[in-house]
Amino acid sequence: MWRYHLLLTLFSLPAILFTAWQAWQQRDMRFLRERLSFIRTFHKGSIWIHAASVGEVNAVMPLIHALLKRYPDKQITLTTSTPTGGEVAQKQLPTGATHCYLPIDFNWASRRFINKLQPCCALIMETELWPHVYRHCVTSGAPLLIINGRLSEKTVDAPDWLRALCPYVLANVTAILARSDADRERYISLGAAADKVKTIGNIKLITPTDAAVEPISLGRPFVLAASTHDDEELRIARLWLSIKQRNQRLLVIVPRHPKRSTPIQQQLAELNCNVAVRSNNDAIDETTDIYLADTLGELPSFIAASDFVFMGGSLVPIGGHNILEVAQLGKGVLFGRHMETFSDEAKLFLDAEAGFQVDGDEMLQESITALLADPEQAQQLGENGEKLIAECGHILPDYLDEIEGHCEINNLHPTDKCRVG
């Protein structure tokens, strides 16, 4: 633990400066204030849920809706660690839920945060292990659950000093609800008590309970490249232009980080093609080859309207992105070999014949060409994905029952202390 304190001390100034730079970039001074634990309002005694960024926010939304329905007298406080996660949260949160940013894990900041919030229970999404936050939360009397618990092989293979910190952190956890048996075993290998860790299922397989996604209309059918990263846009654009039988279809690119729009446009300018840019309100006509959708929060609508989807972050060593949303919207998906972060999901899709994994650009080109030539095959991939999601309908009620069993939310009021263990 002393190494963690030392690192926090050494990097405190750089961490604060980086946070200030993020706030300036996003024009969001609330991000700076709240990351330093200067939070103005709180609903004391609320159910506290932490979802680090955009992917976790989207995944936890069905659970938030379900918790509010089951406990209509309780408030929910959702925290995120990134400005983009906060932006998406504020757009999607229902009445009865509020958002703020989780403070940096300085001891004083975490203590101040928990003292102000006084949560009735804490639900931490996936892999967020913050020693000071965990300790102060448990000291307050609030049970702390890790939900959709996920650990990668990289985390398990961390340096010895970091692995030694994990049992200390995990000792403060009331329960770990893991997304898979493999994740359960990894938590146990890092020092979690076996009787605290239970496999429930992947929360991202829960079908959203809010209104149906409205497909975007572009006036032409299209294939979607979603959540792409640097180098992927140019590679995908090149192979797209080399496909002769595109049948008047567009390639729509939705980059993971819309702020990269300018460099992406500069790269695509090297190609002999017609590119329209959404943020410029460019019109799409019969000569348009590629549409760059450099906006935030519209990805589900693009997925819903597409013929099929290639999920980015997988041609380059990023680790992939969430392919489950594609299946929830009934579309087939292609993804590259770099799916380390979503290896369990990739295996599920391959076993269910809901998607294809490609080894590189040439194989991706061949797969896109095949699906363009055989729309029924693309449709079948989507139907298989929908079936996979439907078979996981037990996951949401299972999570609700586990949370209720450990937190006894129905018996709690804002001034009550929560049961631990």
Say yes or no: 189 and 242 in one domain: no
In a domain, 68, yes or no: yes
Q: DSSP state, 101? A: E
| Predicted confidence (pLDDT) per residue in 100-159, tens digit | 999 999 999 999 999 999 999 999 999 888 999 999 999 999 999 999 999 877 777 777
Say yes or no: 378 and 400 in one domain: no
Averages of pLDDT over each 10 residues, the chain, 421 residues = 75 90 90 91 88 89 94 94 91 92 94 94 92 93 95 77 83 94 92 94 78 89 98 97 92 96 96 96 96 94 97 96 92 96 88 96 97 97 94 92 85 40 30
The two tokens of residue 101 are: 């940013």
Indicate which CATH number applies to the domain containing 363. 3.40.50.2000
- pLDDT on residue 33: 94
Q: What is the DSSP string of 182-200?
A: HHHHHHHHTT--GGGEEE-
The two tokens of residue 293 are: 């959708």
- pLDDT on residue 211: 59
Positions marked catalytic = 56
- pLDDT on residue 172: 92
Indicate which CATH number applies to the domain containing 120. 3.40.50.11720
Say yes or no: 240 and 194 in one domain: no
Selection from 374, 389, 329, 327 nearest residue 355 by Cα: 327
The total domain count for the chain is: 2
- pTM of the predicted model as reported, rounded to 2 decimal places: 0.71
| Predicted confidence (pLDDT) per residue in 66-79, tens digit | 999 999 999 999 99
Say yes or no: 39 and 163 in one domain: yes
Say yes or no: 11 and 95 in one domain: yes
In a domain, 215, yes or no: no
In a domain, 212, yes or no: no
Q: Which amino acid is at 117?
A: L
In a domain, 211, yes or no: no
Range of the domain at 357: 222-390
Q: Are 318 and 348 in contact (CB under 8 A)?
A: no
In a domain, 328, yes or no: yes
Q: What is the DSSP string of 12-78?
A: HHHHHHHHHHHHHHHT-HHHHHHHTT------TTPEEEE--SHHHHHHHHHHHHHHHHH-TT--EEE
Say yes or no: 360 and 304 in one domain: yes
